[in-house]
Amino acid sequence: MGFLDGRVAVVTGGNRGIGRGIVEALAAEGARVALTARERRDAERAAREVGGKSMGFACDVRHHEQVVWLFEQVARAAGGTDILVNNAGVGIFGPVAETSPEDWRTVIETNLNGVFYCCHEAIPQMKSRGGGYILNISSLAGKNAFPNGAAYNASKFGLNGFSEALMQEVRYDGIRVSYLMPGSVATEFGRGASTKGAWALTPPDVAEVVIDLLRSPARALFSRVEMRPSKPPRK
């Protein structure tokens, strides 16, 4: 059916937005996809909508024990993980002095701790299967800081550093690590509905890059990918 036939992929936050686009692209290439949302009903509904062999699991990536449970379920149902897409993420924006410690924790625990927890559980499964691919969805906010972005910038700058260290650590185990840094993508990201226009990137645009990376020769490692809308509104 596709070049990912027989492969097992885990996509965090795969029920909607960019993650959903990635889930659909992976499934179209034949992968068996385990997608997550925070609520079981959202995850299961999305898996039903995607169809095929996809599975939906509830997992809040801020909680290590829920991530452990997720990877146990994937191992039980599908034998283990070949591809991990760390996509789940949140953006809460505002001045540092007005950011509550709870909001700070939400951003860092989701965008950074959650990625660590998922890699911690996935890497042993990948090693036992002879290799794998980890794709971390970062952001251009991981290199371009902006006012009111301190929590989000810190989480994505941190994610980039984490990804680069991990890439060097697991490359000889046959595990490739890439991080993607999209600019504006039309989703419900942030608080409130998206007001982005037709100029913005779309989830399928990001998914296409994920597929291209997975298709690339095992000898090659595209470690960091920046992508941006080609024609954003002029400033």
| Smallest separation (angstroms) from ligand NAP to the CB of 81 | 16
Min CB(15)–ligand NAP separation in Å? 5
Shortest distance (Å) from residue 157 CB to ligand NAP: 12
Which residues are at the interface with ligand NAP (CB under 6 A)?
12-13, 15-19, 36-39, 42, 59-62, 87-91, 110, 137, 139, 182, 184-185, 187-189
Asked if 7 and 82 touch (Cβ cutoff 8 Å), the reply is yes
Pick between residue 23 and residue 31 the one whose CB is nearest to ligand NAP. Answer: 23
Nearer to ligand NAP, 123 or 185 (CB): 185
Phi-psi region of 133 (alpha: psi -120 to 50; beta: other; left: phi over 0): beta
Are 81 and 8 spatial neighbours (Cβ–Cβ below 8 Å)? Answer: yes
Contact (Cβ atoms closer than 8 angstroms) between residue 87 and residue 21? no
DSSP string, 158-173: HHHHHHHHHHHHHGGG
- Please state, in angstroms and rounded to a whole number, the distance separating the CA atoms of residues 190 and 98: 17
Q: Residue 79 or 202: which CB sits closer to ligand NAP?
A: 202
Instruction: Quote the least distance from Cβ 143 to ligand NAP, whole Å.
Output: 12
Nearer to ligand NAP, 61 or 126 (CB): 61
Residue of 117, 133, 152, 179 marked active site: 152
- In the annotation, is 152 catalytic? yes
Q: Which residues of 29-66 are buried (b: 16+ CB within 10 A; e: fewer)?
A: bebbbbbbbbeeebbbebbeebeeebbbbbbbbbeeeb
Residues catalogued as catalytic: 152
